[in-house]
C-alpha cells in the first residue's frame, strides 16, 4: 500500500477508534490515537509478514501490545486487515465480546494477555528466542508506552536482549509524553531515551511517529539489521488527530461524549469505509523437527539420601530426550537448583536469565506461546517478586512450569530472606495453576514427568536438604493424588504433610505406635488439585485431622485441606511456621517452629486424650 493509501487507512482507523470508545463509554482513546501511524506503517507498509488466518503459524511475525490499554487500536488494526468487522468493533468492552478492555486470549490475534504494564517486552524476548532456537526468520515486534518505561521489568528485558544480541526483536516506543495522571519522566526527549537503551547494546532509531513515509522507511531499515535488537522511538502526540484531546492531559481513560465524538469525526475528515489493508504473507518455514527419544528409568534405592531439588535437576536431564521442546530457564542459581546439570548436556535449550525473575517469567510465557515447554527454576521465595507476571501468565492458558527450591525454614542457616514461606499461597491464588510438593527423589522425578506431560501452570516445590528415599521407582503418582503411608483400622488421628514434614510425621507415627496410638499419615504431594476423596475418608475414619507444613499457615496446606473438606472438615489442627524464622540448623528450626516429630507427637497425644 502506498503512502496515500496508508494515510487513508489511518484516518479510517481513527474514525473507528472514536466510534468504538464512544459506544463503549470508556476506553483509552488518546493512547490508541498516538500510535496509529506507527502501527499502520508496520502492519501495512510491506514489512510485517504474517498469515492472519493462522495466528499460530510458526514463521509469522508477531506483534505484542505491551501497552495493552491501547487495545482499541489492536482491534482496529485487525479490522483494517479484514479479520474483525466494523460492527464487532462496536462491542468493545461489552460483556461477552472478545474485544475486551485489554487484550486477552479470547481475541485470537492477541499474542498474550497484556495491560499490566511493563511485561510485554519480556514476552516478546521469549518469543524471539524461541524463533531463533527454531531457526525461523520471523521478527517479534513489541509496542511499548513511554509510561511503562519506568517499570524495572522492561529494563530487565532490554538488558538481557542486548547481552544475548537478539537480532529478531524490535521494540516500538510510543513516546507521546503523557502518562495517566501527568507527564512522563522524559516527555518527548527521544535522544535521552535512546541513550539509555543504547547503553544496553540496542540499536536505536528515532522517527516522527505521525509521518508515515518516514515510519515505513525506518521499519524497512530495521528489518535489514542483523547485529542487535532494535528500538524505534516514535515521537508522537497523545490524542493525535482529535483537536479537543490532542496533547492534552486528563484524557487517558476517558471516552468522548456523542457530541464530542461528532466533532472528532469532523477533525478526522471523510473516510472510505470499504478500505482495507493487506499484510504480507510469511515465507513458508517450519521449526526443525526434533526426534523424541525414550527417557532412562529411575535408579533410586530405598533409604538413599537425596535432596528433592537435586532429583529435579537430574530429572530434567533424564527426561530431556523425551521432550524435545523442553527449555530450562535459570535465575542465576543453577548450582543451587541443579539446572546446571541440564545446561551441561543441553546448552542450546538452556537460558540463563540472571537475577531478573520478572523477566524470566515473561520469557517463559513467550517461549510457551511459540511451542516450547519452559521450565523456570529459582528459589521459592523469589517468585514473590514476579507475582504480577505470574498472575498475567495464568490468563494465557499456556503450559508453564516453575520449580521453587530452598523452601521453608528447613533450608537452615541462610535465614528468612531465602526461605520460601509464602510460595504455596502465591500459586494457590492463580487461576489454572497446580502445586506439587514431592517428599523424596522418586516423587520429585515422577511428578516432574507428570507435569511435563500435563498442561496449565505447574509449581514444583522442592526441599533443599537431602531426604531419605521412601518410594520405590515403580510407585505411581498422579496430579490430584496422594499416598497413604500409615494406616490401620484403629487410627485415632490423621497427619497430613508433604516435603520435609512428611518425614517428621512418619517418625512421629512410629513413636506414637509404641505408645499404642495409631495415626494415619498422608503424603499430600498434590496441593492443588487436592485429593478430596482420600481426605474425606480420613476425616470419617480417624476423627482428628492435623496438617503439618513448612510454610506460613495463611494460604498453606491446612487451608487447602479445610477448603476441600468444607463442612466435613470439623476442626483441622495446623502445625505451621508461626514465628519469625532465624538462622540455624534445619533440625533446630523445625523444633523452633513446632513442626518436627516431637511437636507432632505432643499435639496428637493432646487431641486424642
Q: Which residues are catalytic?
A: 357
Report residue 372 as a C-alpha cell: 516450547
Instruction: Look up cell 508496520; give the residue.
Output: 42
CA distance 604 to 606: 5
| Sign of CA pseudo-dihedral 535, 541, 544, 548 | negative
| CA dihedral angle for residue 583, residue 588, residue 589, residue 593, rounded to 10 degrees | -140
Question: In this structure, how many other beta carbons lie within 10 angstroms of the beta carbon of residue 286?
Answer: 11
Nearest to 464 by CA among 333, 292, 273, 293: 333
CB atoms under 10 Å from CB of 384, counted, come to 15
Q: Is residue 572 helix, strand or coil? A: strand
d(C-alpha 273, C-alpha 413), whole Å: 69
Phi/psi at 352 (5° precision): -85, 110
Cα angle 555-558-560, degrees, rounded to a multiple of 5:
65
Count CB-CB contacts under 10 A for residue 250: 12
Phi, psi of 220 (to 5 degrees): -65, -40
Alpha helices in 25-97 (DSSP H): 29-34, 36-44, 71-80, 86-89
Please report, for residues 146, 170, 186, 247, 357, the alpha-carbon distance to residue 149 in angstroms, rounded to integers and kept in the order given: 5, 15, 10, 19, 18
Find residue 547's DSSP bridge partners: 496, 574
Amino acid at each position: 500500500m502506498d503512502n496515500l493509501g496508508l494515510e487513508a487507512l489511518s484516518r479510517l482507523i481513527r474514525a473507528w477508534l472514536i466510534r468504538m470508545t464512544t459506544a463503549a463509554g470508556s476506553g483509552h482513546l488518546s493512547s490508541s490515537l498516538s500510535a496509529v501511524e506507527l502501527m499502520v506503517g508496520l502492519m501495512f507498509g510491506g514489512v510485517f509478514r504474517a498469515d492472519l488466518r493462522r495466528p499460530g503459524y510458526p514463521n509469522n511475525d508477531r506483534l505484542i501490545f505491551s501497552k495493552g490499554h491501547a487495545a482499541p487500536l489492536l482491534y482496529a488494526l485487525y479490522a483494517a486487515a479484514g479479520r474483525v468487522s466494523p460492527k464487532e468493533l462496536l462491542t468493545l468492552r461489552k460483556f461477552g465480546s472478545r474485544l475486551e478492555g485489554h487484550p486477552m486470549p479470547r481475541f485470537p490475534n492477541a499474542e498474550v494477555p497484556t495491560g499490566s504494564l511493563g511485561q510485554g517486552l519480556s514476552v516478546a524476548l521469549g518469543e524471539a528466542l524461541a524463533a531463533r532456537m527454531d531457526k525461523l526468520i520471523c521478527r517479534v515486534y513489541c509496542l511499548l508506552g513511554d509510561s511503562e518505561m519506568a517499570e524495572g521489568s522492561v529494563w530487565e528485558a532490554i538488558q538481557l536482549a542486548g547481552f544475548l544480541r537478539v537480532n529478531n526483536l524490535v521494540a516500538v516506543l510510543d513516546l507521546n509524553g503523557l502518562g495517566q495522571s501527568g507527564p512522563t519522566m522524559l516527555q518527548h526527549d527521544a535522544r535521552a531515551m535512546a541513550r539509555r537503551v543504547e547503553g544496553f547494546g540496542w540499536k536505536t532509531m528515532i522517527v516522527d511517529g505521525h509521518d508515515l513515509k518516514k515510519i515505513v522507511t525506518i521499519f524497512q531499515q530495521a528489518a535489514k539489521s542483523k547485529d542487535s535488537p532494535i528500538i524505534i522511538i516514535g515521537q508522537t502526540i497523545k490524542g493525535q488527530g482529535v483537536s479537543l484531546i490532542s496533547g492534552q492531559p486528563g484524557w487517558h481513560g476517558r471516552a468522548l461524549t456523542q457530541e464530542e465524538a461528532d466533532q472528532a469525526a469532523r477533525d478526522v475528515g471523510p473516510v472510505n469505509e470499504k478500505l482495507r489493508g493487506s499484510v504480507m504473507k510469511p515465507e513458508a518455514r517450519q521449526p526443525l523437527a526434533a526426534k523424541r527419544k525414550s527417557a532412562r528409568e529411575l535408579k533410586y534405592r530405598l533409604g538413599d539420601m537425596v535432596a528433592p531439588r537435586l532429583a529435579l535437576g537430574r530429572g530434567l536431564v533424564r527426561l530431556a530426550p523425551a521432550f524435545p521442546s523442553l527449555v530450562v530457564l535459570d535465575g542465576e542459581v543453577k548450582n543451587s537448583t541443579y539446572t546446571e546439570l541440564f545446561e551441561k548436556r543441553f546448552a542450546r535449550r538452556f537460558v540463563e536469565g540472571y537475577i531478573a525473575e520478572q523477566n524470566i517469567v515473561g520469557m517463559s510465557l513467550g517461549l510457551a506461546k511459540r511451542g516450547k515447554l519452559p521450565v523456570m527454576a529459582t528459589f521459592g521465595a523469589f517468585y514473590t517478586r514476579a507475582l504480577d507476571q505470574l498472575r498475567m501468565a495464568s490468563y494465557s492458558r499456556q503450559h508453564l512450569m516453575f520449580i521453587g527450591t530452598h523452601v521453608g525454614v528447613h533450608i537452615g542457616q541462610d535465614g528468612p530472606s531465602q526461605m520460601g514461606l509464602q510460595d504455596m499461597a502465591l500459586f494457590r491464588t492463580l487461576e489454572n495453576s497446580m502445586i506439587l510438593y514431592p517428599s523424596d527423589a522418586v516423587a520429585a522425578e515422577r511428578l516432574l514427568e507428570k507435569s511435563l506431560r500435563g498442561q496449565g501452570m505447574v509449581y514444583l516445590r522442592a526441599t533443599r536438604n537431602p531426604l531419605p528415599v521412601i518410594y520405590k521407582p515403580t510407585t505411581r503418582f498422579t496430579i490430584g493424588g496422594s499416598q497413604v503411608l500409615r494406616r490401620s483400622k484403629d487410627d485415632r488421628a490423621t497427619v497430613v504433610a508433604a516435603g520435609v514434614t512428611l518425614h517428621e510425621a512418619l517418625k512421629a507415627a512410629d513413636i506414637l505406635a509404641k505408645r499404642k496410638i495409631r495415626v494415619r499419615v498422608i503424603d499430600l504431594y498434590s496441593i492443588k488439585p487436592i485429593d478430596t476423596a482420600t481426605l474425606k475418608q480420613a476425616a470419617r475414619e480417624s476423627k482428628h485431622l492435623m496438617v503439618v507444613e513448612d510454610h506460613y499457615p495463611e494460604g498453606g496446606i491446612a487451608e487447602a485441606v479445610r477448603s476441600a473438606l468444607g463442612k466435613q472438615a470439623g476442626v483441622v489442627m495446623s502445625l505451621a511456621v508461626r514465628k519469625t524464622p532465624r538462622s540455624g540448623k534445619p533440625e533446630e528450626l523445625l523444633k523452633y517452629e513446632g513442626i518436627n516429630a516431637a511437636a507432632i507427637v505432643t499435639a496428637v497425644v493432646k487431641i486424642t486424650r
